[in-house]
Amino acid sequence: GVDALLARVRAAGGTVVATGGCFDLLHAGHVATLRAARGLGDCLVVCINSDDSVRRLKGPSRPLVTAEDRARVLEALEFVDAVVVFEEDTPAEVLDRLRPDVWAKGGDYAGADLPEAAVLQTWGGQAVVLPYLDGHSTTALVERSRV
């Protein structure tokens, strides 16, 4: 499981990187962000919102893909080492359990503005913002497909 993976990486002196999101309809922007996140350390754990969490955040018509299937697709990527599903609206609780060295987030945040920055500080984790590929967002894809 993920706990054994993290223990192995840490025992070898490695860096644990985590990232999070809905990852509903995996697209090129997600892949670029995940690849970049994996490059920041020795293993990448992707924390994904549960179906209920996605519904609360994005509305009743989402997710388009179940958490089980989203996890399967992510796990198939060579640069993703593990996937964890969380039920809450934010990844704060799962982060507190995993305690990654680096929390990588795609988007337009300044690092200190990340909602997770405060929880990371409790164990000295670092927030890193990775720029999005322009024009790639599942919400934008869904909107375009409805036209």
What does the pLDDT look like over 91-135, one tens digit per residue? 999 999 999 999 998 876 655 567 788 899 999 999 988 877 665
Q: Tell me the residue range of the domain where 84 lies.
A: 2-145
Helix (H, G, I), strand (E, B), or coil: what is residue 56? helix
**pLDDT tens figures, 46-91:** 999 999 999 999 999 999 999 999 999 999 999 999 999 999 999 9
In degrees and rounded to multiples of 5, residue 28 shows phi and psi of -60, -35
* Domain CATH number, residue 75: 3.40.50.620
Say if CB 49 and CB 26 are below 8 A apart. no
Strands 82-86 and 16-21: unpaired
User: The whole model's pTM is what?
Assistant: 0.87
What DSSP designation does 134 have?
A: T
What is the number of structural domains in the chain? 1
